[in-house]
Amino acid sequence: MGFNCGIVGLPNVGKSTLFNALTKAGIAAENFPFCTIEPNTGIVPMPDLRLDALAAIVKPIRVLPTSMEFVDIAGLVAGASKGEGLGNQFLANIRETDAIAHVVRCFEDENVIHVAGKIDPLDDISTINTELALSDLDTVERALIRVSKSMRGGDKEAAQLKLSLDKVLPVLSEGSP
């Protein structure tokens, strides 16, 4: 298989609707926060005309096109990095993906609730980015503790990793994702 892509965003922004459009899965996409709790997964073939052209030249016994797995992840709310909403579960599910597709609501509809009570796409993007940066910061801080212990034993790979973590830490501390 190719790689997987996590579909993320605040609750009720259309993540499950996008997932259904991509995968034809038909999962619930309801008008209430946390309709999705466990991640939904769907695999979509990724046709590539270049692969067909190569197969015509090489004439293999079998042609295996790549595919992409999409993961519909539960909605994230402010404070997720501290466990709010389904935060810890949400962030753990994101860590398992290779890419992130961030869905943002940019439309008014009084029949579709918004977790913040107002439509503000830039604020919604900021909320997600902040929670991801805080989660990454926590991960780096914990990794620095582990690496420091390994360095005491003379682990040279740990020393190299510490140099990288030391460069990343101030960037994340400033709130940059």
Distances (CA, A) of 15 to 45, 102, 114, 163: 20, 9, 13, 37
Q: Are 12 and 33 in contact (CB under 8 A)?
A: yes
Residue numbers of the domain that contains 7: 1-119
- C-alpha atoms less than 13 angstroms from C-alpha of 18 in its C-beta half-sphere: 18
Q: Please give the DSSP secondary-structure letter assigned to residue 46.
A: -
Residues 18 and 77 both lie in one domain: yes
Sign of CA dihedral 21, 26, 32, 33: negative
* Distant-in-sequence, close-in-space partners of 123: CB < 8 Å, separation ≥ 6: 116
Q: Are 31 and 111 in contact (CB under 8 A)?
A: yes
CA distance 33 to 17: 14
What pTM was computed for the model?
A: 0.76
Please tell me the predicted confidence (pLDDT) of residue 80: 52
Domain end residue (candidates: 104, 119, 134): 119
Please tell me the predicted confidence (pLDDT) of residue 31: 57
Residues 112 and 170 both lie in one domain: no
Please tell me the predicted confidence (pLDDT) of residue 34: 55
Residue 168 belongs to a domain with what CATH number? 1.10.150.300
Residues 80 and 156 both lie in one domain: no
pLDDT in tens, 89-120: 677 788 889 999 999 988 888 887 777 778 89
Please tell me the predicted confidence (pLDDT) of residue 47: 86
Residues 95 and 170 both lie in one domain: no
Please tell me the predicted confidence (pLDDT) of residue 37: 64
Residue 8 belongs to a domain with what CATH number? 3.40.50.300
Please tell me the predicted confidence (pLDDT) of residue 22: 93
* Number of domain units in the chain: 2
Give all strands of the β-sheet with 67-72 in edge-to-edge order: 40-45, 67-72, 3-8, 99-102
- C-alpha atoms less than 13 angstroms from C-alpha of 81 in its C-beta half-sphere: 14
Kindly give the confidence (pLDDT) of every residue in the chain, 177 residues in length, as a single tens digit, with 9 standing for 90 and above.
578 999 998 888 888 889 999 998 877 666 555 555 678 899 998 888 999 999 999 999 999 888 999 999 877 766 655 655 555 667 778 888 999 999 998 888 888 777 777 889 999 998 888 888 888 888 888 888 888 888 787 777 888 888 888 898 888 888 766
